[in-house]
Amino acid sequence: MKLLLPILLLCILNSAQAQQPKLELLWQTDSIIAVPESVLPDIKNGILYVSLIDGPSWIADGKGGIGKLSIDGKKYDSTWITGLNAPKGMGIHSNRLYVADMGELVIVDIAKGKIEKKLAIETAQGLNDVAITSKGVVFVSDSRGSKIWRVENDMALLYLDSLRGVNGLKVVNDELIIAAGRSFIKADANKNITKIAELPQGGDGIEPVGNGDFIVTAWAGYIFYVHADGRVDTILETHAEKKNTADIGYDPAKRIVYVPTFNGKTVAAYILK
């Protein structure tokens, strides 16, 4: 019995290690992407939309834009949309691409490749991420204002307040998934908030894996796998290479994670195993 117990514990430990998710690099662009903050896959059309800050994170300098990168990372158009300031999170509904840009929600007509309108949210201090419901209701995080805005029919109303460090958003079914500092939480349709997990660092990008688990990034250069039961595994660290991990995109069919490295000025693709 004394010999059997250590062997059993070792088997359990090895099994847990074998089951821990991990990321393996598939490809990475050259350092030609002008401060990429967010990657949004359009799998059907083989396109990755990339928000380009191209300068300081919170300065309205008119240098920002949206680039288009092929799904294999080989072809890149840096000038698809120009004239933005410091664009960050994005979302798509119908033919519209919604982009958080400082104090504005920029709406792009995808088919025409042109800005349709810029919706100013007057009291917003620093819009960051975008999440959209199946019905086209848009949620936008205001990281500097600690708020989340709800936009419907191109009209913005305050939805949630006093969320310190609020950044990443994702709509899953009828729930809004939120990264607010180290708090990884969800809000139901009645705005009741429930804790999912405590993150090792402040969360940025959020992608559901499809089984109740999530991939969550921390801007400094960490990617976490958040299990449905609240456990958190660190599955990638790139901070030592001075490559950030900002607002990721995800292809659930191929389990590919697309990572904008911000100051690293690349986009990288990893397969989740």
pLDDT at 139 over 80: yes
* Mean pLDDT, residues 26-44 taken together: 98
pLDDT at 246 over 90: yes
Q: What is the DSSP string of 177-245?
A: EEEETTEEEEE-TT--EEEEEE-SS----EEE-SSS-EEEEETTTEEEEE-TTS-EEEEEE-GGGT---
Which of 135, 128, 133 lies closest to 163, judged by CA? 128
Judge whether 21 lies within some domain.
no
Judge whether 151 lies within some domain.
yes
Residue type, 96: R
Judge whether 18 lies within some domain.
no
pLDDT at 13 over 70: no
Judge whether 13 lies within some domain.
no
pLDDT at 257 over 70: yes
Among 15-19, 63-67, 119-123, 175-179, the range scoring the smallest mean pLDDT is 15-19
d(CA 79, CA 72): 19
* Mean pLDDT, residues 124-141 taken together: 98
pLDDT at 1 over 60: no
* Mean pLDDT, residues 95-105 taken together: 98
pLDDT at 64 over 80: yes
Give the domain extent around 90: 34-272
Number of domains in the chain: 1
Question: Which helix (H) or strand (E) is 13 found in, with range?
Answer: helix 4-19
Judge whether 24 lies within some domain.
no
Judge whether 178 lies within some domain.
yes
Answer whether 184's CB lies under 8 Å from 195's CB: yes
Q: What is the CATH number of the domain that holds 49?
A: 2.120.10.30
Judge whether 14 lies within some domain.
no
Please calculate the CA angle 72-240-169 and round it to the nearest 5 degrees. 60
What pLDDT, on the 0 to 100 scale, is given for residue 16? 46
Answer whether 242's CB lies under 8 Å from 29's CB: no
Judge whether 247 lies within some domain.
yes
Mean pLDDT score of the chain: 94
What pLDDT, on the 0 to 100 scale, is given for residue 61? 96
pLDDT at 89 over 50: yes
Could you tell me the CA-to-CA distances from 183 to 121, 177, 239 in Å, in that order?
25, 11, 21
3-state secondary structure of 141: strand
